A and B are shown apart, each in its own frame.
Chain A
Amino acid sequence: MLEVQTYPTVGEAASAMDDQARFLGGGTLIMNRVNYGDRRFNRIVRTTDASLSEIRVEGDRLEVGAGVTMAAILASRDLDFLSPAARAVGGPAIRNMASVGGNLMAPHPYGDLAVALLALDAVVRMVSGEELSLEDFLARRNGVVRSLLIRRPRGDEFRFRKVSRVKPKGVSVMSMAARLTRSAGRLSGVRVAYGAMASTPVRVRAVESALEGVSLDHAGITAALSAATEGLDPPDDPIASGWYRREVAPVHLRRLLLGEDAR
């Protein structure tokens, strides 16, 4: 039997969690498992805490509640830079349900928003108050997330691209995000992240360092393209093989960096 426990605050909900429980956010991940009789858990924990759905703005610093949906991101002017990533998730019905927190937990090849957040150096604030980098969170993926802390990117420095075989909406062959910060006309402190290229969304440090100090043009990014899949062993799945992902990653990285037209 499956038990559902509803708590008024996220704190109480978090303390009710154990390895037999799953935290219900938008439902798109957990209810699928429930419908298919997943017996790795026998309790659903949820909260009616409205604070989870808040978007708080302090200058260029934003705090996005874990319960904020993709649809809410699309509706928020403050989060306009996340629109391409939020729009890449599901159809309208899924976007009305899928939450930021859930996207961090989504298994391969899902988690397109998390790819964007990785490239934005988002910080995860847990219900416990602990703060950790999204990269560290993705490595362990446990605990209940309260919110994400994001610094708004400047101008057009943030790029997101999802490669999918089905239009207008399909699962990722890969997704890519980059924050192309510059110093004195040269790239500096760049962040690049991939989705569907590893078991979780990942930062691609080899590419980031190859972009350090170069100009954003064909010649400048050559080394970065060569390093596009360094250290990665992309998975095989029904959408594409690891071989294919590895072969086309440099192409899509170039298109992302240089803003070339997607097909």
Chain B
Amino acid sequence: MAIHHGRGFASINYPIGMNLGGDPSQALVHSTPDGKFKVTLSSIDLGQGIKSVGRQLAAETLGVPVEDVFVDTADSDTGPHDMGSFASRGTHRMGNAIIRAATEARAQLLEAAAEELEVDASDLVTDGRGNIHVRGAPSRSISVEATATAAQFNQGRTLAGRGIFLVPLSEVDSVTGEMTPVSSFAHAALIIDLTVDDETGEVEVQNINSAYEVGRALNPRLVEQQLIGGAWMGVSHALYETTEPNYPERSHGPIDFNHYLQPGPGDTVPHHISVLERPAPDAPFGGKGPGEMCANPVLPAIANAVFNAVGVECDSLPITPEKVLRGIRANGGARPQGRPGA
């Protein structure tokens, strides 16, 4: 009986904002009479946080406090068209649409304020705390609230914005596969430490060290949510999950969560994350959506670590104890490979 330690590495990139459908997103922004802003979309929040990210993008772009902005999604009567929340397009496509809508609304906000202050709109800046003032002269100011009231009740002006973001459709060439598939790439590199029990084939992940390059962490806590949950899902995909345990045969497909295996709360793995930010041109504030990619490097890193631990090639997922045990048997015993990078 022996427990073998293994270390494995993998690095990946991930396409952000797939571009094979020519898929647009739209956003609308408008102000209430007291200078609070509503953002209407038809994005879907599946937990990834588009309501929250959209709100931050709108508030930053408008130059108003985040508490004064709310995102309303998704109602097909009020939210303009959006292709959907998939393919790592939400932050990229909708984020850009929101920035454009908020930019237009901001321009009107500043014009309305300029009229009240009797200055040129191009001389005005926002302070992010609900005020607009002349650049370099904070005393010549008007609140966003007063501006909105004046705009709507005195000036007869809307403070609203429309945004659409469309990356035109990329054709795919039939012979070379030439295409323009994506807007940018996110990146990740990851090291897994695990143990393998050579009597049972059981694998236990001990530690994850990762580096994720996300363009810009628009909200670091939301990014961390995705990276932690995504790494968990990566462990789950690598070691546990399948709807068809005997693929390609269809027997013994699970129909409940007791039989569809996933790591439980007692299987959490210490995870040290490094976040890198190389802002992507054309992405909102440079941010790339981290949600989809973060599970991917975990799968091969685990397989590589299992090989490192016991010398078994695990090229078929999930890496069940049975597959590891069969591999050890086929090799006539565990064949530890020695610690890499030492």
Within 8 A of A (CB), among B231-284: 240, 245-246, 251-254, 258-267
**Inter-chain contacts of A247 with B (CB < 8 A):** 325
Instruction: Please determine whether A169 and B264 come into contact, CB atoms closer than 8 angstroms.
Output: yes
The answer to whether the Cβ of A122 comes within 8 Å of any Cβ in the partner chain is no
Name B261's contact: one of A166, A168, A251, A260 (CB within 8 Å).
A166
What CA separation (Å) do A236 and B251 show in the bound complex?
Answer: 9
Specify the chain B residue showing the minimal Cβ separation from A245: B322
Q: What 1/0 mask marks residues of chain B from 1 to 41 whose CB sits below 8 Å from any chain A CB?
A: 10100000000000000000000000000000000000000
A244-B322, A251-B199, A263-B197 known; A167-B259 Cβ under 8 A: no
Taking CB atoms, residues of chain A closer than 8 Å to B325 are 244, 247-248
Q: Are A165 and B261 in contact (CB under 8 A)?
A: yes
Give the nearest-CB partner of B253 in chain A: A238
Partner of B200, one of A167, A238, A239, A251: A251
Q: List chain A residues, Cβ under 8 A from B200.
A: 248, 251-252
A240 CB-CB contact with B under 8 Å: yes
Mask of B197-220 contacts with A, CB within 8 angstroms, 1/0: 101111010000000000000000
Given the complex, which residues of B lie within 8 Å of A251, measured CB to CB?
A: 1, 199-200
CB A223 to nearest CB in B, in angstroms, measures 19
Secondary structure of the A contact surface, majority rule: loop
User: Which chain B residues lie closer than 8 Å to A248 at the CB level?
Assistant: 199-201, 321, 325
- Note all chain A residues with C-beta closer than 8 A to B254: 238
Are the CB atoms of B245 and A167 closer together than 8 Å? Answer: no
Query: In the complex the two chains form, what is the Cα distance from A65 to B253 in whole Å?
Result: 36
Which residues between 172 and 207 of chain B lie within 8 Å of chain A, taking CB atoms?
A: 197, 199-202, 204
- Given the interface pairs A236-B252, A248-B200, A263-B204, the reply to whether A170 lies near B258 with Cβ below 8 Å is yes
Please measure, in the bound complex, the distance between the C-alpha atom of A244 and the C-alpha atom of B325, giving whole angstroms: 8
A170-B264, A263-B204 known; A239 vs B259 contact (CB < 8 Å): yes
Give B162 Cβ to nearest chain A Cβ, in Å: 47
Bound-state CA distance A6–B3 (Å) is 54
Q: Does A48 contact B (CB under 8 A)?
A: no
Residue of B nearest to A110 (CB): B258
- Range, interface on chain A: 20 to 34
* Nearest Cβ on chain A to B246's Cβ, whole angstroms: 8
Could you tell me the distance between the alpha carbons of A237 and B204 in the complex, rounded to whole angstroms?
Answer: 22
Residue pair B262, A166 in contact (C-beta under 8 Å): yes
| Known A168-B264, A168-B266; contact A241-B322, beta-carbon cutoff 8 A | yes
Shortest Cβ-Cβ A-B pairs, 6 listed: A167-B266, A168-B266, A238-B259, A244-B322, A238-B254, A166-B264
Show the binding face of B for A, using Cβ within 8 Å.
Answer: 1, 3, 197, 199-202, 204, 240, 245-246, 251-254, 258-267, 320-322, 325
- List 25 A-B residue pairs with CB atoms under 8 Å apart, sorted by A's residue number: A165-B261, A165-B321, A166-B240, A166-B262, A166-B263, A166-B267, A167-B265, A167-B266, A168-B264, A168-B265, A169-B266, A170-B261, A236-B252, A237-B252, A238-B252, A238-B259, A239-B259, A241-B245, A244-B321, A244-B322, A248-B200, A260-B1, A263-B3, A263-B197, A263-B204
